[in-house]
Amino acid sequence: MTDARKNILLFFDRPTEPCFMQKGEEKACFDLPDNFYPDKYKSLSNTLSSRFGSDAQRTIPVRNIALPNLQLPMELPYNDQFSLFIPKHRQMAGKLIDVFMGMRDLEDLQSVCSYCQLRINPYMFNYCLSVALLHRPDTKGMNLPTLTETFPDKFMDSKVFRRAREVSTVVTSGPRMPVVIPQNYTASDSEPEQRVAYFREDVGINLHHWHWHLVYPFDASDRAIVNKDRRGELFYYMHQQIIARFNAERMCNNLGRVTRYNNFREPISEGYFPKLNSQVASRAWPPRFTGSTIRDLDRPVDQIRSEVSELETWRDRIIQAIENNAILLPNGRQMPLDEETGIDVLGNIMESSIISRNRPYYGDMHNMGHVFISYSHDPDHRNLEQFGVMGDSATAMRDPVFYRWHAYIDDIFQLHKNKLPAYDNNSLGFPGIRVASIAVEGKAGRNTFATHWEQSTVELSRGLDFTPRGSVLARFTHLQHEEFNYVIQVNNTTGRNTMGTVRIFMAPTVDENGTPLSFDEQRKLMIELDKFSQALRPGMNTVTRSSMDSSVTIPYERTFRNQANRPGDPGSAEAAAFDFCGCGWPHHMLLPKGTTTGYPIVLFAMVSNWADDSIKQDTVGTCNDAASYCGIRDRRYPDRRAMGYPFDRPARKGVNTINDFLLPNMAKTDCRIQFTNATRPRPQQA
């Protein structure tokens, strides 16, 4: 990697320590022009640079450039929280992203970064720089550190940091003892929601969600950054899958499916006490008490003034658009919501981002829902409190209410899906192709998935300011499964070589009362496990596919990558687009937990006609292993079908069960997920 690229990454190291202090393992220091020092340091600038620079192993000269106008992003106080869901913050971030994108080369980017790093809110700075590095042509393919490394405080109980400091101060050389993070530290067993805390508070799941929103920002004046192929549809689909997965997880734990949050005047029965401290704000994340109600917001500090009734108005207008099958454009004309692109248009309106077709009319429903909920404890700022975890995409999924809100959002999307014509045999079938069977083979035996707890260790050191250097390890426990293979028998009677797309899903078979699920309920619970193209020779083909190749997940190592340990030049082709690759469902959460008695699920596979699915594009060198949930960087979504196909809409008449739904190119098998209540250490990887 060139020095310029490497230097930029130093801004992620110890984010709240000024950049004239030593950064990175190699103890590099930025040598700033005098006028870059903020006033508070100015008179000391000489002393500072010699003091902190003296035993630096490398000094990085910073070019003195004419600085762009940074007034807007500097309005956010340095020690405040930063939220993408707050319109004002979004504007500030949009401006800063533009500044970073507009720098003509890496040296200039470095200059502006060093100026900003001393003045701009660290969370916002980190977010904007990450977005810019993901999108600038000269920084593509760089390894960004994961957010757990930079801001571990967003993922872990604050006690960990006190202990981490003890550990790193006491043991200043050699290997360090990991700090153990207990499982289940946010509530006791008397809170039923705690049964799925391992899902909500999973570090990998929260990282995925943060990454997804990093790859799909809401705002930037360069529309291309926001306006990605089928972005609105992917917003719908990725979050729909989160709800489906959460519901399966709940059902494995004797909880009902999540109740949508659709009455904004009603108290929210679930409370949440995050037990996280913000390192930047030096303050605990505020809790939400049981029975809180969202209220009108009037927070001049955040420039937010919004009434709950606005949320209701936007909701009603969106529902009206779905009923009319058309949205209202700013010029008063109607634009139909068609079968192919309607969901995408709706997704953009609902989210909403700058590519919403009519923001003045349809508003900012999804984002403001996050905002209302995250300020329910202090809607008028009288207690000078900042937002709760729902206000940050890195922490929102910890809170039970996240799922209630998104279940409702999803429900509205389903209103649109319900209006689409059912798929007919033509659009579901694949003449000449018969899927004879699907089975699962793994350690646990045929058609049994096996899950257990696993204990892993991750590196936190970058994010810990003002501690001695060296590794700080956190050890935590998460769900894991035994890897397995799908074995699918496909008979190709076309007499020719042909290509198919194999689509694999899983869903519960019975509802919370043990009653078999109807097709329409089951389809909404379908979890995508994998999707891949497959060459089929004439005659019987045995397709064997490893669970590790899933199109929705990224490997454990990438979720928790420690970039210092990664081999290869990050600028090289092998590692290209590595940054984008942080997006993806964490592989250790591929399967729901199951139960100790074996949770029954149905496994479904279909082979669709690749000629009707495929997108002709070159994806060599791009990261596409989690494409189903994240898309492919700078490319079109790699499947022409509606996301979630064939389960994204109600079935044709007469289909009441999954068996009724099956055509010759589909098969299903009843399986079980067998959970073993034991914790195993993560095997050491070579």
Catalytic (active-site) positions: 351
Structure tokens at 112: 């502006």
Q: Which is nearer to ligand CUO, 168 or 393 (CB)?
A: 393
Structure tokens at 570: 């990050």
Buried b (16+ CB within 10 A) or exposed e, 572-586: eeebbbbbbbbbbbb
The residue from 95, 154, 209, 588 that contacts ligand CUO (CB under 6 A) is: 209
Give the nearest distance from C-beta 393 to ligand CUO in angstroms.
6
Structure tokens at 609: 């006609």
Number of alpha carbons in the 13 Å side-chain half-sphere of residue 677: 5
Q: 437 by DSSP, 3-state: which? A: strand
Query: Distance (Å, rounded) from C-alpha 492 to C-alpha 42?
Result: 75
Query: Distance (Å, rounded) from C-alpha 278 to C-alpha 154?
Result: 7
Give the nearest distance from C-beta 419 to ligand CUO in angstroms.
24
Q: Which is nearer to ligand CUO, 151 or 161 (CB)?
A: 151
Q: Which is nearer to ligand CUO, 127 or 486 (CB)?
A: 127
Number of alpha carbons in the 13 Å side-chain half-sphere of residue 570: 24
Give the nearest distance from C-beta 366 to ligand CUO in angstroms.
6
Contact 152, 461 (CB under 8 A): no
Contact 136, 169 (CB under 8 A): no
Contact 212, 238 (CB under 8 A): yes
Query: Distance (Å, rounded) from C-alpha 41 to C-alpha 147?
Result: 29
The residue from 393, 395, 498, 551 that contacts ligand CUO (CB under 6 A) is: 393
E strands, 133-200, are 179-180
Q: 534 by DSSP, 3-state: which? A: strand
Give the nearest distance from C-beta 486 to ligand CUO in angstroms.
29
Assess 396 for contact with ligand CUO (CB under 6 A).
Answer: yes
Q: Which residues in 272-311 contact ligand CUO (CB under 6 A)?
A: none
Give the nearest distance from C-beta 124 to ligand CUO in angstroms.
18
Which position has the token pair 């791009």?
Answer: 622
Q: Which is nearer to ligand CUO, 370 or 417 (CB)?
A: 370
Assess 370 for contact with ligand CUO (CB under 6 A).
Answer: yes
Total residues at interface with ligand CUO (CB under 6 A): 8
> Is omega for the bond preceding 533 within 30 degrees of 0, making it cis?
no
Q: Which is nearer to ligand CUO, 366 or 545 (CB)?
A: 366
Assess 525 for contact with ligand CUO (CB under 6 A).
Answer: no
Of the candidates 2, 100, 134, 129, which has an alpha carbon nearest to the alpha carbon of residue 576? 134
DSSP state of 502: E
Q: Which is nearer to ligand CUO, 179 or 626 (CB)?
A: 626
Q: Which is nearer to ligand CUO, 239 or 668 (CB)?
A: 239
Give the residue closest to ligand CUO by C-beta: 396
Neighbours of 289 (CB within 10 A): 13
Give the nearest distance from C-beta 235 to ligand CUO in angstroms.
7
Of the candidates 360, 335, 332, which has an alpha carbon nearest to the alpha carbon of residue 346? 335
Residue 438 Cα to chain centre, angstroms? 30
Q: Interface mask (CB under 6 A) for ligand CUO, residues 210-249, using x and -?
A: ---x-------------------------x----------
Assess 366 for contact with ligand CUO (CB under 6 A).
Answer: yes
Please count the residues of the chain: 686
Q: Is the dihedral of CA 74, 80, 86, 90 positive or negative?
A: positive
Q: Which is nearer to ligand CUO, 213 or 462 (CB)?
A: 213
Give the nearest distance from C-beta 644 to ligand CUO in angstroms.
17
Query: Distance (Å, rounded) from C-alpha 401 to C-alpha 370?
Result: 9
Give the nearest distance from C-beta 654 to ligand CUO in angstroms.
36
Buried b (16+ CB within 10 A) or exposed e, 122-157: bbbbbbbbbbbbbbbebbbbbbbbbbbbbbbbbbbb
Q: 565 by DSSP, 3-state: which? A: helix
Contact 149, 463 (CB under 8 A): yes
Q: Which is nearer to ligand CUO, 154 or 434 (CB)?
A: 154
Q: Which is nearer to ligand CUO, 240 or 292 (CB)?
A: 240
Residue 59 Cα to chain centre, angstroms? 36
Q: Which is nearer to ligand CUO, 214 or 627 (CB)?
A: 214
Q: Which residues in 400-439 contact ligand CUO (CB under 6 A)?
A: 406
Structure tokens at 619: 């994806």
Contact 463, 150 (CB under 8 A): yes
Could you write out the DSSP letters of every residue in 327-371?
EEPTTS-EEE--TTTHHHHHHHHHHT-TT-TTHHHHTTHHHHHHH
Assess 353 for contact with ligand CUO (CB under 6 A).
Answer: no
Residue 566 Cα to chain centre, angstroms? 22
For residues 415, 421, 422, 424, the Cα torsion angle rounded to the nearest 10 degrees is: -170
Give the nearest distance from C-beta 100 to ligand CUO in angstroms.
23
Query: Distance (Å, rounded) from C-alpha 84 to C-alpha 553?
Result: 25
Q: Interface mask (CB under 6 A) for ligand CUO, residues 102-141, using x and -?
A: ----------------------------------------
182 burial class (0-12, 13-18, 19+ CB within 10 angstroms)? Answer: exposed
Query: Distance (Å, rounded) from C-alpha 149 to C-alpha 460?
Result: 5
Q: How many helices (H) and strands (E) does the chain have?
A: 24, 20
Q: Which is nearer to ligand CUO, 116 or 630 (CB)?
A: 630
Q: Which residues in 463-502 contact ligand CUO (CB under 6 A)?
A: none
Binding residues (CB under 6 A) for ligand CUO: these are 209, 213, 239, 366, 370, 393, 396, 406
